[in-house]
Structure formats: C-alpha cells, structure tokens
Structure 1
Amino acid sequence: MNKRVAVIGGRPAPIYGAKKLGIDVVLVHEEGAYEQEIVAHCEKIVHADITDGNAVINALEELHLQRPFDRIITTTEVAGESTGKAVDHFGLAGVSYKTAHLLKDKLAMRDLLAAHDLSPVAYSRVDCKEDAIEFVNRYGRSVLKPAEGVASLHIHPCEDEQSVFSALKALEAAGVKNIIIEEYLEGPVVSVDSFSFARQHIPIGYSEYRMNDRYVEWEVSTPSTAAKPWLSELRSMTCRLLDVLELEEGPSHSEFVLTKKGPRILESHARLAGSGAPSLVKRAFGLDLNRMFLTVPLGIDNLPEVSPEPIAGAAIQFFVPAPGTVKEVNLNLAPDVDVRRTKVGETPLVFLPYLFELDDAKNAVVIQKHEGEYIPPLNTVADCVSGYVLATGASREDAVAIANDLVEGVHFIIEPQP
C-alpha cells in the first residue's frame, strides 16, 4: 500500500512526482492559493486556514481515521506551528509544535542558545524605548526587529537615541508588537542546508548571499567561498543547534554571520530554504532536497551517512532594476540559454515560476515583468518580482560570473517613478 502524507500549504515542487514514488499526498491549503497543476499530483486537496492548528487538525481528522497518515509536513514558514500542533495531535514523527515555536520566536531561540552556551549574542526583549536605548548604550551598534519576523522584514540597525526612536516608530507603524534588539553582527552571511532523520543531522549545502542595504538577498550562490574556512565549525554548530531544538526529522535551513569572533547563529528554519536553494544544492552537491522532503522520512531513501562534497557551483540572481513602469525588455543572450516568460498581466502563485521545469537547464533566464507593468522598490524579498537567472558553473565563482553575464544580457527599459 502507498505511503500517505498530509502536506500543509507551501509551493508545489516537493509534491511533484509523489505518485511515481508510491506516495499519496493530501494537500491542505487555502482556496485559490495553490497552482492548479499541482492537483494532478495529489490524492486530495482540502481547504483550510493553514496558520490555524485546530483548522488543520479538523481538516485531517476524518481522513486520518479512514486511513492514517504516515507524516504531516510543511515547507512553508507560516504553517510551521499549525503543522506542529497537528503532528503532536496525531502522535506522528516530525517537527513538533515545541520545535516550530522555538524557531519562530526569536527571543525563545536566543534564550535556548544562551542556556546551552551556543553562539553567544547579546540580545534583549524591548518593552519600551528606554530598553532599546540602554542596550545601544551598552553594546553600540545594534539591530531592532520583530521577535517573530521573517524574510528580512522590518530590520532596523541603530546606534544612538535618534536611530532607536526612528526604528521603534517604523516598527509601531508596521503593527509590530513583539520586538527584540540584538548586537549588530558584522560579517558575511552564509547558510547551511541540512537534512535530519531520527535526530541524526547531516549538513549538505552551504551558501552565501549578496544583499542590498535593506538586507534583501538578491543573489544566492553555492558552495560558499566565505564559509569554507569555517566549514567544520559551521557543520558542528548546525548539528548542535538542531539537537537543542529537538528537531526530529526533515529539512532545515540555518543562517550564520561570520564575525571576527567566529560564526554566530542568525536564525534557523525547519523547512526547505527559499530563493531556489534546493535547486542550487542539487546542482552543486547532487542531492535532491525536494525529493528527500518526502522520501527520507518515509524510508524510501536513506539519509546520507556523511556530508557530500561539491561537484559544481550554482547561483541564482534576481533582476533588480530601478523602480518604475516597464517600457520594454530587450534580450541579448546566447542561444543555448533557456528563456521563459510569465504571461502578461498574470501574477504567479509561486515565488520562482518555472524553477521546477528548469531542473535540467544549465543556464536559464525567467522574465516576470512586461511592458506597462510596475516594478516596486526592493524593500523585502517579496519585491523580487522582475524575474531571475539561474546558472551552473565549475565553481561558485564561475556560476556567479555566468549569472552576472546573464543579467547583463537582459535590459529593462524603465520609466522612473515621478
């Protein structure tokens, strides 16, 4: 009999091919929030609020009684805690509510790390402006941000009373109530993508980023050059982090800042990484995290015994043209580049359209903006909506150089904002 899983929310890539693997997928999602092509890969689709644990449990209760689920999993941040509640309710192996909550609550995470003397970083809860001012006076340059924030939203560096006031005012305007302040971590940002099973953790890929002054990542490349001198420590720290989080199984994505004092944990997630990272890992390390998302927990594939060595370099770079209205898009690309365009006037439901279809393309370009359409300022990752390039090379540096050339070959002619 086929294995059976419930997948809560998320994007379709990990579900593709499930039926060929002998896996029946029940997708729990919000109506209109998923791609219609995914229907063919599912046993059933159930509509529910994916952020509400009780709603998810109610949606699955009868189905579980009829034929029990082997796993309940998610790869989307917003459904982490609700999925954890369902995992606990049905008594299944997986990411528990406790682990999901620790990953979401940055104050709880810092408390946990401090209790285990892991990656020391000065931090504090902020209940009033005096808390933040006192912290800055003690530690110097700091960062104010939501204690439950994601995707580089509402991150505000501060170094004096005036910048503290400005940051708190911006956070208040954004409706942020739970605020954390941390010492500013100076250095390149890198990440480690891992997979776990039965509380055994195997670090797999390691990437680095280029970002703008708002900490929006517009390029991801792997294997990280910056991480290599610290690779042994990063892998060890990742496993220690996942241990203290009590992560039982599944993918994880942990971010670090390489400071002068060594790597410091920025944050972690019990899910597949965004910005096309699983595709980059597959190109650079030969392991398919999207497939493993389903197969390793179900015993179809085994967890690798050791971390793989890189076999290539890979990079994804978003187009970041100036804000304004598109007048035209001109291409000057080699004929072997796979070029895709989204439909005019259509907003894709997926963040990276065509990514799954481009698995076998060595180098690719996806254009998402067309004549007459508006390009927003790059304030968050969600503003990376103009398209992207995907490149594979002999090394990370080679892949980045290819990606740069691909970006240079695409010209967005923009009518600037008034």
Structure 2
Amino acid sequence: MTTSPLLIVVGGTDPVYRGYCVEQAAAGYPIALIDTKSPSWAHHLVADHEVADIHDVDSVVAAGLALAERHRVAGVVTWDEYALVPTAALVERLGVPGNAVEAMTACRDKARSRRLFAEHDVPSATSTRVTSLEQAREAALSTGFPVVLKPSSHAASIGVIRADNIEELLVAWEFASAGAGEQGPEGSGVLVEEYLAGPEVSVECVTHQGITTALAVTRKEVGFAPYFEETGHTVDAADPLLPEVAPVAIQAVRALGVTSGIQHVEMRLTATGPRIIEVNARIGGDRIGTLVRLATGLDLPRIAADVACGRQPDLTRTAHTTAAIKILYPPASGVLTARELSADADATCPWLHEVTWLRKVGEQVALPPAGNLDTARVGFLIVTDDTAQETRARLASLTDDLTLTVTR
C-alpha cells in the first residue's frame, strides 16, 4: 500500500498523444492505472494497476474497487473520451471528487448536449437525430444545406462529414452511419446538423467545485473537406479572443452539469458570434495540453490531477508565448517511400520542441476517407515563438523543407 493517497488514472496511456499526461500526473501523485493491459512504457511511473475494459462501467468500477482495497484513493481521472462515463461511475462509487454520470453522458451524447444547450440558451447548432437515410433527407431539407452529419457519441471527427446538397447526402449518410456503427453506448444514431461557417477554435477550461475558468484558446486548422480532419493547432497566451469566447464556453459547461475537471470546448466563430460544436470533458487531443504548457506554463494534466483529488489547482501563468503543432499528412495514399526534415529539435533550433514520426518508410498510409488518425498521419512538429504569426512562419519554413514521398 502507498503511504500517500493515490490517484487512479483510467486509460489514456498512448505514449505519443497521452504519455505526457501520465508523466505530469505522476510527478505530483502516486498513481494507479486501470487500462486494457498491464503498463509497459509507463511501468516505472505506476504504483499499482488493474486490467479492465476501460469503456465498460462494470469493469472499471470492479477494477477501481480492487485498487481501493489495497490503497487509499484520493481521486480518479481520465483523459480518454470513451472512458468518461465509466470513470464517473467509479467516482460516484468511491465518493471522491468528480462529475456525475449524468453530466458525462450529456457530454458524450451530442444529441442530449444540443437539447441542453437549447434549454439554457447556449448558442449552438440546429440538430436532428436520425436512424435512416429517409429521415436524414427530411432533416437536411428542414435544416437547409449545407449540413453536417455525425455519429451521436463518437470523437476525433470519426464519421463527421459535410453535405452541400441532396446529391451529396447519400455518400454522407453512408460515411456517417458507418462511423455510428462503432460509436460509444452513450448515444445512438446519426445527427443531421446545421453547418456552422467560420473559423474553428477550442477553449481549454478547468472546473473546480462547480466554478469554471477559461485558460486558453486553441486556434485550429481543419482540412480534407468534406471531412473535418484536424491538421494543426495554435495556442497564444495573449490571444485577444479569450475574453469573447470564455463566457460562451463557461455557459456550455454549466448547461451540461459539469462540475469538475478539464474541458475542451469546441466552437465556431460565426457571423452571429461564437457557437458551440461540443464539450469534451477531458484534455484536448493532438498534444493541445503540451501547447498550453509551452505557451502559458499551465500544466493541464497536473491541474486535472489536483481537481480530481479535491485540491485547489494552481492557475498561475509562468510563460507568455505561442506554441503550435503541425500534423503531417502524406501527399497521397500508398507506400511511404521517403520522409525527411532538414531541421532537428536540438540546440541549433531551440524553437523546435519536438519532431515525432508516426509512420516509417515502407509503411502504408491512407488519406481520408479511407484513412483514419492511425493510418493518415505521418508525424507532427511542435514549435514556439513570441507571436502566433512568427510561430506559423516557423512551421511554414519547416514544411517547405519537408520531404514526404508516397508510391501508389
């Protein structure tokens, strides 16, 4: 048994995208892990573990109770979208700080989110849940083109597609309904929604004891239309947009009944003002937590751990710069035959914080719609500079010197 109260981490151990979360939480607390397999790369960070299906409520609760028999538990946290509801169930069972199952279900089920947004006057999008192509057609005609189709309870833009007219709706329906077949159990069917035109951003928030604070704005790059593949993100500590979008993000978090943890609130900046896409009740993906730390000094995984354990988080900014990530995609689908970047993340390029390759030469790569996050991305670059403009210029210079070759 650990001498200090222990933090249980449910899932989220992918070393590339979530490894930093485990490391930063473990720097502040002894941690136990509930995951689908025994810890590998993170074994030296973990005081104990249980193997469980992290997307199943009963499995997670049983694993958590087994850990609680061996340790004093201070809190439970996850940054895995599909483990939010099981984690909330464990929180309730152990009586530690955290969100209610109902609130996490409201975040996961986008149809329920839309209803709650409407009830609380949160600016959002017109949305209709459908289960057939004919219903999708009726909803699209009622809403007006263009429309967006998406599974009700998926993530990472899986199954999300835009249709500009009735002719495109059939292809969109097939793509979205295929994604919906693999979605989480919190929602069902496909949503046909009003397309929100305008730049996409997210607001990174923390909620402690029911009080939400907006910490940073993430400006997003989205590509591969009519799909919504995220290709880059920028966090500027001095972003003037924060005062405008913060109240809308906070209003959305409150409407869903979220009272604890980190929230990644996605919205579009439309001609009528910011309008909510969705609220993800966990740290944003694509290393957004790393960007927030580099730009502001705010450590989102440590903040999440503190809140989960009932402690007041430290929200003192210790940096005032800009950080950005560029996600590298191949020029076409096929076999990756060359990948080369002239710069290295070393003392000669202190502004280049990380170069990570996700695909090796000789491996197959596939762009959307055939490809997904695992097969489409070749790697990513993380850079910093004083301003957003300078940071984007750094990324542009790197990508100009980048070689990615694919043989079909």
The normalised TM-score by structure 2 is 0.88
Q: Which segment is superposed worse, 372-381 or 252-261?
A: 372-381
Q: Report matched runs for 1:181-330 at 5 Å.
A: 181-212=192-223, 213=225, 214-223=227-236, 228=240, 230-298=241-309, 302-304=313-315, 311-322=320-331, 323-330=333-340
Q: Report matched runs for 1:19-418 at 5 Å.
A: 20-21=27-28, 23-31=29-37, 36-141=40-145, 142-174=147-179, 176=181, 178-212=189-223, 213=225, 214-223=227-236, 228=240, 230-298=241-309, 302-304=313-315, 311-322=320-331, 323-333=333-343, 336=346, 362-379=352-369, 380-415=372-407, 417=408
Q: Could you tell me which amino acid in structure 1 is paired with residue 168 of structure 2?
A: S
Q: Which segment is superposed worse, 134-143 or 388-397?
A: 134-143
Question: Cα distance, 1:20 vs. partner?
Answer: 5.0
Question: Cα distance, 1:66 vs. partner?
Answer: 4.1
1:15 aligned onto 2:25: no
CA distances 1:318-354 after superposition (whole Å, capped 9, x unpaired): 1112222122333322684689xxxxxxxxxxxxxxx
CA distances 1:198-235 after superposition (whole Å, capped 9, x unpaired): 1111111101111211210111111299x73x532310
Residues of 2 paired with 1:400 and 1:382: CA distance? 25
The answer to whether the Cα contact below 8 Å between 1:18 and 1:41 also exists between their aligned partners in 2 is no
Residues of 2 paired with 1:92 and 1:161: CA distance? 50
Residues of 2 paired with 1:371 and 1:63: CA distance? 42
Q: Which segment is superposed worse, 254-263 or 87-96?
A: 87-96
Residues of 1 paired with 2:203 and 2:23: CA distance? 24
Residues of 2 paired with 1:132 and 1:48: CA distance? 37
- When residues 264 and 337 of structure 1 are mapped into structure 2, their CA distance, relative to the original with a 3 A threshold, is farther
For 2:185, the equivalent position in structure 1 comes to none
SS, match of residue 279 in structure 1 = helix
Q: Which segment is superposed worse, 208-217 or 382-391?
A: 382-391
Residues of 2 paired with 1:393 and 1:143: CA distance? 35
- When residues 13 and 110 of structure 1 are mapped into structure 2, their CA distance, relative to the original with a 3 A threshold, is same
Question: Cα distance, 1:10 vs. partner?
Answer: 0.4
Residues of 1 paired with 2:289 and 2:396: CA distance? 21
Q: Could you tell me which amino acid in structure 2 is paired with residue 46 of structure 1?
A: E
Residues of 1 paired with 2:345 and 2:35: CA distance? 39
Percentage of matched positions with identical amino acids: 23
- When residues 296 and 386 of structure 1 are mapped into structure 2, their CA distance, relative to the original with a 3 A threshold, is same
- When residues 413 and 221 of structure 1 are mapped into structure 2, their CA distance, relative to the original with a 3 A threshold, is same
Give unmatched runs, 5+ long, in structure 2. 14-18, 182-187
The answer to whether the Cα contact below 8 Å between 2:36 and 2:53 also exists between their aligned partners in 1 is yes
Q: What is the root-mean-square deviation in Å for CA atoms of aligned residues?
A: 2.5
- When residues 68 and 320 of structure 1 are mapped into structure 2, their CA distance, relative to the original with a 3 A threshold, is same
- When residues 368 and 198 of structure 1 are mapped into structure 2, their CA distance, relative to the original with a 3 A threshold, is same
Q: Could you tell me which amino acid in structure 2 is paired with residue 140 of structure 1?
A: G
Q: Could you tell me which amino acid in structure 2 is paired with residue 373 of structure 1?
A: E
The answer to whether the Cα contact below 8 Å between 1:314 and 1:400 also exists between their aligned partners in 2 is no
1:4 aligned onto 2:6: yes
Q: Which segment is superposed worse, 263-272 or 328-337?
A: 328-337
Residues of 1 paired with 2:77 and 2:320: CA distance? 30
- When residues 378 and 404 of structure 1 are mapped into structure 2, their CA distance, relative to the original with a 3 A threshold, is farther
The answer to whether the Cα contact below 8 Å between 1:133 and 1:160 also exists between their aligned partners in 2 is no
SS, match of residue 332 in structure 1 = coil
The normalised TM-score by structure 1 is 0.86
Residues of 1 paired with 2:260 and 2:231: CA distance? 29
Residues of 2 paired with 1:54 and 1:298: CA distance? 22
SS, match of residue 367 in structure 2 = coil
- When residues 43 and 304 of structure 1 are mapped into structure 2, their CA distance, relative to the original with a 3 A threshold, is same
SS, match of residue 267 in structure 2 = strand
Residues of 1 paired with 2:11 and 2:155: CA distance? 17
Question: Cα distance, 1:288 vs. partner?
Answer: 1.2
Residues of 1 paired with 2:44 and 2:118: CA distance? 47
Aligned length in residues = 389
The answer to whether the Cα contact below 8 Å between 2:25 and 2:301 also exists between their aligned partners in 1 is no
Residues of 1 paired with 2:66 and 2:355: CA distance? 44
The answer to whether the Cα contact below 8 Å between 1:196 and 1:303 also exists between their aligned partners in 2 is no
Residues of 2 paired with 1:368 and 1:63: CA distance? 34
SS, match of residue 333 in structure 1 = coil
- When residues 266 and 327 of structure 1 are mapped into structure 2, their CA distance, relative to the original with a 3 A threshold, is same
